[in-house]
Amino acid sequence: MEQKRVDNLEVEILSDNWFTLKKVNFDFRRNDGIWENQSREAYDRGNGAAILLYNLENETVILTRQFRMPTFLNGNPSGMMIEVCAGLLEMDNAEDCIRRETQEETGYEISNVEKVFEAYMSPGSVTEIVHFFIAEYHEDMKIGEGGGVAEEQEDIEVLELKFCDALKMIKAGEIKDGKTIMLLQHLQLKLLQANS
């Protein structure tokens, strides 16, 4: 049985504007058994889901491009990021969420999704765990233009790219989003295994 690692938890809300920023004071039992008082901040924005749509026949993938303020603040001159479709779970389960987000952002209505893994994207400061999916798409699944939800101030461009070009864009630094890189590389490994 694993020893208790955290005790005397004190949580203070620093901000509850867009999502919740908490300051947490606690006692932590180190590996050597000594208790040490620590303080951290954690940003709670809920959990999310992300999906890579791919078409084996055409060797293409669907990605999105949108403005991301934090990247702009960290030196991305335009603030624009190329990403897989993604969203927050809100009250949905992960599969329902990603089907809804896919339709809103890309205009594709998908039914069959394959969950491939879950991951914490920034465990040192953000509570979010992301559920990762892939799904095949075909042109007859396109029922709208996508672009996101205007009331949520989304202004999303839908990109259909050759899969090989998307992989090259990682190396060239044109794709820097972690969830997108993970799903593109997952699909690359999946296709390599299928062809071996």
In this structure, what CATH number is given to the domain that contains residue 112?
3.90.79.10
Averaged confidence pLDDT in the chain:
94
Q: Rounded distance, CA 63 to CA 100, Å? A: 16
Domain-located, residue 112? yes
**What pLDDT does residue 151 have?**
73
Domain-located, residue 1? no
For residues 17 and 106, state if they share a domain: no
- pLDDT confidence bin for 5, thresholds 50/70/90: very high
Mind listing the pLDDT tens digit for each residue in 117-148?
999 999 999 999 999 999 999 999 999 888 77
Domain-located, residue 58? yes
Supply the range of the domain harboring residue 91.
48-195
**What pLDDT does residue 4 have?**
92
pLDDT of 20 strictly over 80: yes
**What pLDDT does residue 81 have?**
97
Mind listing the pLDDT tens digit for each residue in 51-72?
999 999 999 999 999 999 999 9
Q: Rounded distance, CA 62 to CA 55, Å? A: 9
pLDDT of 99 strictly over 80: yes
Q: Which of 69, 60, 20, 48 is nearest to 179 (CA)?
A: 48
Mean of the pLDDT values across residues 148-177?
91
Q: Are 87 and 94 in contact (CB under 8 A)?
A: no
**What pLDDT does residue 35 have?**
96
For residues 27 and 54, state if they share a domain: no
For residues 82 and 150, state if they share a domain: yes
Q: Rounded distance, CA 115 to CA 132, Å? A: 6
User: Residue 140: which residues within 8 A CB-CB, separation 6 or more?
Assistant: none
How much of the chain, in percent, has pLDDT values that exceed 90?
A: 86
For residues 91 and 52, state if they share a domain: yes
For residues 40 and 97, state if they share a domain: no
pLDDT of 84 strictly over 80: yes
Domain count, the chain: 2
For residues 54 and 96, state if they share a domain: yes
For residues 53 and 31, state if they share a domain: no
**What pLDDT does residue 136 have?**
96
**What pLDDT does residue 150 have?**
72
For residues 104 and 184, state if they share a domain: yes
* pTM score, whole prediction: 0.92
Domain-located, residue 85? yes
Q: Rounded distance, CA 136 to CA 54, Å? A: 5
For residues 30 and 57, state if they share a domain: no
Domain-located, residue 159? yes
Q: Rounded distance, CA 102 to CA 50, Å? A: 9
